[in-house]
Amino acid sequence: DSGVTQTPKHLITATGQRVTLRCSPRSGDLSVYWYQQSLDQGLQFLIHYYNGEERAKGNILERFSAQQFPDLHSELNLSSLELGDSALYFCASSALSGGAGDTQYFGPGTRLTVL
Amino acid sequence: AQSVTQPDIHITVSEGASLELRCNYSYGATPYLFWYVQSPGQGLQLLLKYFSGDTLVQGIKGFEAEFKRSQSSFNLRKPSVHWSDAAEYFCAVGARNQAGTALIFGKGTTLSVSS
């Protein structure tokens, strides 16, 4: 158990809908990262927040957004969902503000299925 | 651009035999390198990491990896594989040139263990 929690574990929804994925980092960690794992694209970095501020963006679609709240939990919002958004979404947390030596610990993931 | 290549999509090893999973990276400076393991339905667990110093890195569960700058490689090894090692293994490089850190993952190698 990494100490990172994600809810829900599974989510099934329809095209065009909007969903929110939630992540609670390990106790004391200030950074939260979101990744998407799909069969065709593999594991891809989406976005990084540190202590409530956005620090880096990866291949995140404009339909997707995220935020980190004062209690350091983070939410990833996915809107106007398409079939291709079906994937496993991971949250990871780390103690530091980034920098390549920072170690990220991953949650169990949320499996999103768009029908 | 940074990238990670795991040449072997699937490897089958007999229980008790030795294992080597290959990882090659492309990075402009000294990389920070990681190996993660993902069991079915689980999140990613950190096996080991290389930041600097000794090029032979010891990790959890009896795994080790060797950083070879001349070959741009960071291969994962285990002297004797157990059936519980069957999983998917991901090599990743931590990008250094951002305010935050994106982990860039390889496509993964699936390890099967035969009895």
Tens of pLDDT along chain A (115 residues) come to: 889 999 999 999 999 999 999 999 999 999 999 999 998 889 999 999 999 999 888 889 999 999 999 999 999 999 999 999 999 999 999 987 766 667 899 999 999 999 9
CA distances from A30 to A17, A114, B87, B104 (A): 30, 31, 30, 21
| CA–CA dist A47, B113 (Å, integer) | 35
Of B94, B83, B88, B105, which is closest to residue B13 (Cα–Cα)? B83
Of B84, B65, B81, B55, which is closest to residue B6 (Cα–Cα)? B65
- Specify the pLDDT at position A77: 98
Please enumerate residues of A whose Cβ is less than 8 A from a Cβ of B. 2, 4, 31, 33, 35, 42-45, 48, 50, 55-56, 58, 90, 92, 94, 97-109
Output the CA torsion sign for B94, B109, A29, A109. Answer: positive
Q: Count CA atoms within 13 Å of residue B63 on its CB side.
A: 22
Contacts of B99 in chain A (CB under 8 A): 55-56, 97-98
Instruction: Return the structure tokens found at A30.
Output: 């200030």
Confidence band for B11, pLDDT divided at 50, 70 and 90: very high
pLDDT at B30 over 80: no
Whether the CB of B28 is below 8 Å from some CB of chain A: the reply is: no
Residues near A5 by beta carbon (within 8 Å), at least 6 away in sequence: A23, A24, A107, A108
- Specify the pLDDT at position B100: 60
Q: What is the DSSP string of A20-49?
A: EEEEEPPTT--EEEEEEEETTTEEEEEEEE
- Specify the pLDDT at position B97: 55
Residues near A54 by beta carbon (within 8 Å), at least 6 away in sequence: A47, A48, A66
Whether the CB of B86 is below 8 Å from some CB of chain A: the reply is: no
The CA distance from B108 to the nearest CA of chain A, in Å, is 8
- Where would I find the H helices in A1-115? none
- Specify the pLDDT at position B94: 85
CA distances from A79 to A74, A103, B24, B45, B58 (A): 16, 30, 36, 29, 43
The CA distance from A82 to the nearest CA of chain B, in Å, is 23
- Nearest Cβ partner for B46 among A56, A103, A109: A103
Per mean pLDDT, which range of A101-110, B5-14, B76-85 is the poorest? A101-110
- Specify the pLDDT at position B29: 74
Of B36, B31, B50, B101, which is closest to residue A31 (Cα–Cα)? B101
Average pLDDT over residues B12-36: 92
- Specify the pLDDT at position B98: 53
pLDDT at B99 over 60: no
In terms of Cβ atoms closer than 10 Å to its own Cβ (0-12, 13-18, 19+), residue A62 is exposed
pLDDT at B73 over 80: yes
Average pLDDT, chain B: 91
